[in-house]
């Protein structure tokens, strides 16, 4: 049985719920201040997912023995198989909702994970990070100077893109700027039990975020987190690292509640299929937004509840098929 890390489960489950809320509240940011608040400040969810994935990888690959061609093959299958199953169900729904957008170009870009479906940028990012994670571990174990040099370049690069827009599609540069979160996860694995690291990760990242917030405010620049996310600059990354640290160490202090633990664990264990399921339901329901006069509360529940039921149904079906085989 695979070892589970409770804090990582809680982080993943919490951030998956946050992703669903980001996507549902988006339609109400102009009409509800609460929806706009949730939509903006829940943007920590992607850094959390990257941290969790990196944390688990670095826990297992400290000696680099797991870094092999077999690892890359398994990882690609694990990322792409659910995505292509998702496309089989999503594309017919998308055609019914927006038939004019379902062009041959859209289909092709969706298939090669280079465009088309809006949410596949995250799939591409994790494919890219499949290479980045081992490189970070190799740099540290084989040449620490190279590790710190790469860390410095990633840090400076995330500052540079606050001021300069890079002439490259964000989908092909996200891996580099999210290296900062991955490096943080690597150091987290090494030093999470050290009090000084805990203080630096929480208060240091908060200090950087507040400092940049004040600077951007004074310069009249965009303060919306989402608009600093593609690719993530230091303003966005410092907020993400602060929330990761705050939630991780906060979850350590929490006493266990079996009901909360079950709910969050469910969203953690099935986070990847839920990511796809909720989006199909979301797109399928958007044409009815005006017809049913939904609030962001009711619309979020209209997406969330069917998502849970579909995932439970898939689990039951898989269990029955396994028993019958």
- Closest C-alpha to 241, from 230, 233, 231: 233
Q: What is the pLDDT of residues 15-56, one digit of tens each?
A: 999 999 999 999 999 999 999 999 999 999 999 999 999 999
Backbone angles phi, psi at 4, to 5 degrees: -110, 145
Confirm if 56 and 126 have CB atoms less than 8 A apart.
no
Mean pLDDT, the chain, rounded, equals: 92
Say how far apart CA 244 and CA 131 lie, in whole Å.
22
Please list the alpha-helical segments (H only) found in 42-68: 45-60
Q: For residue 1, what pLDDT is reported?
A: 42
Peptide bond into 231 cis (omega under 30): yes
Percent of the chain topping pLDDT 90: 80
232, β-bridge pairs: 229
Lowest mean pLDDT among 62-76, 111-125, 154-168, 169-183: 62-76
């Amino acid at each position: 049985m695979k070892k589970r890390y409770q804090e990582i489960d809680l982080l993943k489950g919490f951030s998956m719920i946050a992703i669903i809320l980001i996507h549902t509240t988006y339609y109400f940011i102009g009409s509800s201040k609460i929806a706009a608040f949730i939509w903006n400040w829940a943007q920590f969810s992607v850094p959390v997912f990257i941290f969790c994935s990196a944390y688990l990888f670095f826990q297992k690959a400290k000696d680099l023995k797991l870094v092999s061609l077999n690892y890359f093959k398994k990882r690609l299958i694990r990322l792409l198989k659910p995505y292509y199953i998702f496309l089989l169900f999503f594309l017919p729904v998308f055609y019914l909702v927006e038939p004019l957008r379902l062009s041959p170009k859209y289909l092709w870009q969706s298939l090669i994970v280079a465009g088309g479906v809006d949410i596949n940028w995250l799939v591409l990012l994790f494919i890219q990070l499949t290479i980045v994670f081992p490189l970070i571990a190799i740099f540290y174990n084989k040449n620490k100077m190279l590790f710190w040099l790469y860390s410095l370049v990633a840090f400076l690069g995330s500052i540079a893109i606050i001021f300069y827009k890079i002439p490259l599609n964000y989908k092909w540069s996200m891996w580099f700027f999210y290296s900062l979160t991955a490096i943080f996860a690597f150091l987290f694995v090494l030093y999470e039990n050290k009090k000084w690291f805990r203080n630096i990760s929480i208060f240091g990242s908060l200090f950087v975020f507040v400092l940049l917030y004040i600077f951007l405010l004074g310069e009249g620049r965009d303060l919306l987190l989402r608009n600093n996310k593609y690719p993530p600059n230091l303003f966005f990354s410092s907020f993400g690292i602060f929330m990761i640290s705050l939630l991780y160490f906060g979850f350590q202090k929490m006493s266990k509640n079996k009901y909360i633990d079950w709910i969050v664990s469910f969203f953690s264990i099935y986070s990847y299929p839920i990511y796809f399921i909720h989006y199909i339901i979301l797109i399928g329901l958007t044409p009815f937004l005006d017809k049913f006069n939904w609030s962001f509360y009711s619309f979020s529940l209209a997406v969330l509840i069917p998502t849970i039921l579909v995932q439970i149904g898939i689990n039951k079906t898989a269990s029955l098929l396994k028993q019958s085989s």
